[in-house]
Amino acid sequence: MRPSVYIETSVIGYLASRPSAHLVTAANQQITREFWADHRTRFELFVSLAVVDESVAGDPDAVAERKVFLADIPILDVTDDALSLAQSLMSGIPLPEKADVDSVHIAVAAVNGMDYLVTWNCKHIANPALRGTIDMLCRSAGYVPPVICTPPELIEVSDK
């Protein structure tokens, strides 16, 4: 059985975006494309309605490109249990109000028993300073937290 991975919106965004002139961003985009092309089949991929909602906002051409990457990925519901855990994450970390959807991503992944949550959001999700608190809040609510990582970290997992 392949490990399950929740794909957060920033990954879809990097896949569908034009190459950046910013060196680090361009490298992250290339790593994301490498993950997608060479490693994603080693995992069961999932997104949530929150990812879909974020991905269909904005420029119509960009939306069309993001939809291509979302086309065959199963969509997890944002349940009442997930919303309850998201609220606990918002107040327990604490995250700013603008990060409310970030807490939903973490909560949906945890409630659905995902093995991994892959993201480029290193401010509110893949932030090493927050991971201990995220894990503790998920566990105290009765859920095993996903391993939160970036695409290059997940590539390392798939290479093992």
Domain of residue 27, CATH code: 3.40.50.1010
Q: In the predicted model, what is the mean pLDDT of residues 56-78?
A: 94
pLDDT tens profile 90-99 = 999 988 899 9
pLDDT, residue 157, reads 84
47, containing H or E segment? strand 44-48
Boundaries of domain holding 36: 4-158
Q: What is the pTM of this model?
A: 0.95
pLDDT tens profile 104-116 = 999 999 999 999 9
pLDDT, residue 159, reads 66
pLDDT tens profile 18-38 = 889 999 999 999 999 999 999
Domain count, the chain: 1
Instruction: Specify whether the CB–CB gap between 29 and 17 falls below 8 A.
Output: yes
State yes or no: pLDDT of 160 exceeds 90. no
Q: In the predicted model, what is the mean pLDDT of residues 130-135?
A: 96
For 109-160, the DSSP string reads: HHHTT-SEEE-S-TTTTS-HHHHHHHHHHHHHTT-PPPEEE-HHHHHHHHT-
Q: In the predicted model, what is the mean pLDDT of residues 139-151?
A: 98
